[in-house]
Amino acid sequence: MTLAENLRTKYGLTSLKTGGSGLPVTAINEALEVAAQIADRSQAPEIANQIRALKWEASEVQTARDVA
């Protein structure tokens, strides 16, 4: 199960369904960026990079919508 599928199922994120709002995905990405910035300030650039790698690209969201 992909991250998108897992979140859609677990939290009912309608943004991952056809015609859904993109706001939840934007909120997730913003929260991940804040977490990455905290890791940067804590002298943990490797962790910050891992967190940033979790941010969703538009293509991943489109794939998730195709699955829904």
Domain boundaries along the sequence of the chain: 3-67
Tens place of pLDDT for every residue, the chain, 68 residues?
566 667 667 766 655 555 666 777 778 888 889 999 999 999 999 999 999 988 876 555 555 555 55
∠ Cα 35 38 40 (to 5°) = 110
Is 0.95 topped by the overall pTM? Answer: no
Q: Rounded to an integer, what distance in angstroms lies between the CA atom of residue 49 and that of residue 62?
A: 23
Q: Rounded to an integer, what distance in angstroms lies between the CA atom of residue 47 and that of residue 14?
A: 29
- Tell the residue number behind the tokens 């897992």, with chain if given: 6
Distances in whole angstroms, Cα of residue 57 to Cα of each of 41, 42, 44, 52: 25, 26, 23, 11
pLDDT at 62: 52
pLDDT at 10: 73
